[in-house]
Structure 1
């Protein structure tokens, strides 16, 4: 049950995120749908490639594709209702997608009896892979490559799920809510990872 719930939540959140970024960049109708789909399923495709699952397995998710297309269509038809609140809620949608897909990715690795390292990688790639592809296609610096805390939360979720500390669905939902809240809080409080800049290093001149 938790697997399906996280799949649906992540798909909707990232499809909406990709579609809105595309409209912000003034992409046409095709570009909006393309970026929305790539954002929703890009992370899963990268994950499957690295852990040995055929990428073609994505095409078996017909229901998820339909959900993504419906979400993108709603955003495209009623953009003003969402865009005017996007700067307030945009990072919230991204946090939801990150959390849902990170847990789903870790569960995917656990189902295949892969080691905890694979669960962590699957969590990070599933949670942030779609967003990375979205930002690159939109000509933006990916969130995961900035100094703000982002993929770290996905890695922590991967550790928890990979160790099998909480196997019941209710605990997975608790992890989801906690991870989403921490991601939003890290954005609002401007939490940063250590940063070393070489731009002003005179010794390099």
Structure 2
């Protein structure tokens, strides 16, 4: 079957396809953050895989349990979400040891994951509940949950407890999403705030 550019654009613009695209990119970003953080702690390959998977699927798992949805990665065809996390962790375990020495590298991958998953969580929350308040809560939970669980596994202080603009960055981006209904703009806002926090050490205190 032939598709025109218009057909492809319309297909890509469907909310369910946007959610899937965000999910895949977010899984890669968070799994990479987990794998690199594990490398910094000198974990073995199994530890690297586990931390990468926890970071990738953790926030979405908690979200789905709270909303009473089927846990997304348990119902993926071929378990693609879990496999993405494992493959990403494997790649970074093999090739990322030099990258792991760079300062703030975990923070940058985490910022990408946060910006993507906060938007995805909001979109799923609004579709499931119809409530903006619940959607915002699910967006923050989905965005922050994986990083929180990753840091707990590695006995690191979670970003959300460091006085940085983290959950607040997600809230700001989701406020933009509520006002504009523009997921891309929302994600950019979240990432921009986190980028400024990483680069210039923005804090509440």
Please give the range of the TM-score, normalised by the shorter of the 2 chains: 0.7 to 0.9
Match of 1:113 among 120, 129, 150: 129
CA RMSD of aligned residues (A): 1.7
Residue-by-residue CA offset, 1:44-77 (whole Å, 9 max, x unaligned): 111112222243x431232222222221111011
Give the TM-score normalised by structure 1.
0.84
> Which range moves more in the overlay, 171-180 or 127-136?
171-180
1:166 counterpart residue number = 180
Number of residue pairs matched by the alignment: 187
Gaps of 5+ in 1: 195-205
Give the TM-score normalised by structure 2.
0.84
1:199 counterpart residue number = none
How far apart are 1:97 and its partner, in Å? 0.3
1:203 counterpart residue number = none
State the 4+ residue runs in structure 1 displaced beyond 6 angstroms.
Answer: none
Indicate the SS of the match to 1:182: helix
Gaps of 5+ in 2: 1-16
Structure 1 residues 20-39: aligned runs within 5 Å? 20-39=36-55
1:60 counterpart residue number = 75
Residue-by-residue CA offset, 1:30-52 (whole Å, 9 max, x unaligned): 11100000000000111112222
How far apart are 1:157 and its partner, in Å? 2.8
- CA contact under 8 A between 2:104 and 2:198: conserved in structure 1? no
Tell me the distance in 2 between the aligned counterparts of 1:17 and 1:33: 11
Match of 1:127 among 143, 160, 167: 143
2:67 counterpart residue number = 51
